[in-house]
């Protein structure tokens, strides 16, 4: 009995001795870390001072420090970003979708910048600026040779201030003075009934208060008594986590977990649940995603999938499972920093790339298949982590042909649409528009006038093969074979335009429609031929198929 008590006393003493030792060790670790930080900051300051004093040329302190910070953050992840005071508007645009300006998009073309798009109802649109107009000067100063970023900065400014522009529009020079406004990029560029049963909402960004626009669209659609809803978040790069929770709450009732966050700083760990009554918790729902659906889009798709609230259709999403917050720094600078990973209701983290484990050359890789885990939805369906949200029904987007890609990337479709717009001023409704065979022949003539030519990937590969064969001295032995192959594989523009007519006409029609009816018109036009939308309607119309997808773990693909 006494021995047992002595043993207990010894154990207590041992624990009491270990506690101070562990605390001392932890304190030493913290002190060592703090010392390293202090030491390296001192080294950085000393190095900067010496450069400023002795470097042969004058240095720009702001530029040098910005470069140093950017390169330092590049070793972490691409979402941790430093914003100097001059770039404050960029962060505001990301979070709010608003900026002070005229409401136009520009891109560099040759020595000048060209208007590539205008937002409906904002100053540029009201002033009559059209896509294709060439911007010559801003406030009397030529913009010749300036980058699109430099020109964009000149166009932006405080709401209420004026800016004078000189433009070349349809061959005529004109000067206009525009009063800048607070431009708000709409998060819902289009919604509507795409057939008698199906309501459709195109949702493009999770900016501040975007849920109000989605809610308004959903309520308006419900006045048409839809039997089903399609929520299109393809190419939606995300935004505010809080808005993602609110979007899910439109379709899911209160007290349902949507997402949880976990990071190094425990005060940022949180579980987010729905808090309100849903606008409609029962209507059949299809959510469209693709490879550019990221972050908050994946939270919405993941929650809808895990709660078995709707069917996810399209392609695997981007795989961004990291959360950022903005932290104010000195002198009106800011840091957007990754603080946590997020997890869907089933417990999945959809992060595809592990930035914490870099290769020796600094590159990063995807999460290996061996580390991918299985989770279960509310109904017991199997879902997996480690690389975005996998759709319940996979419908892959079709790849463009080489000729269509060249026409689009080299802005020839854009330029032809500009020509078409000025030659067809009598189109007042979408129903008035028809792109005929005669128009397509005119497009071919336009390409001939522009001396359009390109090399197919097949031709490029053959050219590389010929170069290699000549270097290895095989070409002379098989010259006739190579000559015949080159002749057989050479492309013909007229043949390619005929072979890939459907997809080229689709691109032309979308661009032309946007000239008359803006982005909303283009979406309304193109959605009728969209294969992923068509598949969603097919599944929603088949209630037995829809229910089975939310019950079983099988994942059909087409």
The per-residue pLDDT for 361 is: 62
pLDDT mean over 490-494 = 80
Instruction: Please list, in sequence order, all residues whose beta carbon lies within 8 angstroms of the beta carbon of residue 261, skipping any fewer than 6 positions away.
Output: 241, 268, 269, 270, 272, 323, 339, 340, 341, 342, 343
Q: Which residue has the higher pLDDT, 10 or 96?
A: 96
Phi (first) and psi of residue 453, to 5 degrees: -150, 160
pLDDT mean over 79-95 = 79
Tokens of 458: 């097949």
- 2.30.42.10, 3.40.47.40, 3.40.1030.10, 3.30.420.40: which CATH number matches 98-184? 2.30.42.10
CATH second-level architecture of 190-391? Alpha-Beta Complex (3.90)
pTM of the model: 0.85
Q: Is residue 2 predicted with pLDDT exceeding 80?
A: no
Q: Is residue 253 predicted with pLDDT exceeding 90?
A: yes
Q: How confident is the model at residue 28 (pLDDT cuts 50, 70, 90)?
A: low
Could you tell me the residue ranges of all domains in the chain?
Answer: 98-184, 190-391, 402-454+491-539
The per-residue pLDDT for 8 is: 47
pLDDT mean over 333-342 = 91
Q: Is residue 391 predicted with pLDDT exceeding 50?
A: yes
The per-residue pLDDT for 206 is: 94
pLDDT mean over 217-228 = 98
pLDDT mean over 249-268 = 93
The answer to whether the beta carbons of residues 392 and 323 sit under 8 Å apart is: no
DSSP one-letter code for 139: T
The answer to whether the beta carbons of residues 236 and 295 sit under 8 Å apart is: no
The per-residue pLDDT for 337 is: 92
Q: Is residue 278 predicted with pLDDT exceeding 60?
A: yes
Q: Is residue 353 predicted with pLDDT exceeding 90?
A: no
The per-residue pLDDT for 315 is: 97
pLDDT mean over 25-51 = 78
């Amino acid at each position: 009995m006494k021995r047992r008590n002595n043993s207990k006393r010894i154990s207590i003493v041992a624990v009491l001795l270990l506690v101070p030792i562990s605390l001392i060790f932890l304190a030493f670790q913290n002190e060592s870390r703090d010392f390293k930080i202090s030491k390296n900051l001192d080294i950085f300051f000393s190095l900067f001072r010496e450069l400023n004093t002795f470097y042969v040329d004058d240095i720009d302190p702001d530029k040098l420090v910005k470069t140093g910070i950017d390169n330092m953050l590049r070793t972490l992840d691409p979402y941790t970003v430093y914003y100097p005071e001059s770039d404050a508007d960029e962060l505001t645009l990301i979070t709010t979708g608003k900026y002070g300006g005229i409401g136009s998009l520009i891109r560099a073309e040759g020595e000048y910048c060209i208007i590539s798009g205008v937002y409906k109802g904002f100053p540029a649109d009201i002033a009559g600026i059209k896509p294709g107009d060439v911007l010559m000067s801003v406030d009397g100063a030529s913009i010749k040779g300036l980058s699109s970023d430099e020109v964009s900065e000149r166009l932006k400014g405080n709401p209420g201030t004026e800016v004078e522009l000189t433009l070349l529009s349809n061959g005529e020079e004109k000067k206009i003075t525009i009063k800048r406004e607070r431009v708000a990029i709409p998060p819902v560029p289009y919604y509507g009934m795409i057939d008698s049963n199906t309501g459709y909402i195109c949702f493009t960004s999770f900016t501040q208060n975007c849920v109000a626009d989605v809610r308004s669209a959903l309520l308006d659609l419900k006045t048409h008594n839809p039997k089903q809803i399609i929520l299109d978040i393809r190419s939606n790069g995300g935004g505010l986590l809080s808005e993602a929770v609110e979007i899910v709450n439109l379709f899911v009732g209160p007290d349902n977990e949507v997402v949880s966050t976990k990071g190094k700083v425990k005060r940022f760990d949180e579980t987010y649940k729905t808090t309100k009554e849903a606008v409609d918790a029962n209507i059949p729902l299809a959510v469209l995603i693709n490879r550019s659906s990221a972050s908050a889009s994946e939270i919405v798709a993941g929650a809808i999938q895990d709660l078995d609230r709707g069917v996810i259709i399209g392609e695997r999403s981007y795989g961004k499972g990291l959360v950022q917050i903005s932290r104010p720094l000195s002198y009106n600078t800011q840091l957007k920093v990754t603080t946590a990973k997020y997890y869907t209701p089933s417990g999945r983290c959809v992060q595809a790339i592990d930035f914490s484990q870099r290769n020796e050359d600094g590159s990063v890789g995807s999460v290996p298949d061996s580390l991918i885990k299985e989770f279960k939805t509310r109904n017991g369906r199997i879902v997996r982590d480690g690389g975005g949200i996998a759709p319940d029904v996979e419908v892959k987007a079709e790849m463009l042909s080489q000729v269509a890609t060249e026409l689009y990337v080299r802005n020839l479709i854009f330029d032809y649409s500009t020509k078409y717009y000025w030659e067809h001023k009598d189109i007042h409704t979408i129903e008035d528009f028809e792109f005929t065979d005669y128009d397509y022949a005119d497009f071919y003539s336009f390409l001939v006038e522009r001396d359009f030519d390109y090399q197919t990937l097949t031709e490029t590969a053959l050219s590389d093969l010929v170069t290699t064969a000549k270097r290895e001295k095989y070409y002379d032995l098989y010259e006739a074979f190579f000559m015949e192959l080159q002749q057989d594989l050479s492309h013909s523009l007229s043949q390619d335009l005929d072979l890939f007519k459907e997809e080229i006409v689709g691109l032309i029609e979308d661009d032309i429609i946007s000239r008359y009816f803006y982005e909303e018109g283009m979406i309304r036009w193109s959605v009728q031929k969209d294969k992923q939308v068509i598949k969603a309607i097919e599944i929603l119309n088949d209630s037995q198929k829809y229910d089975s997808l939310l019950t079983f773990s099988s994942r059909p693909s087409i």
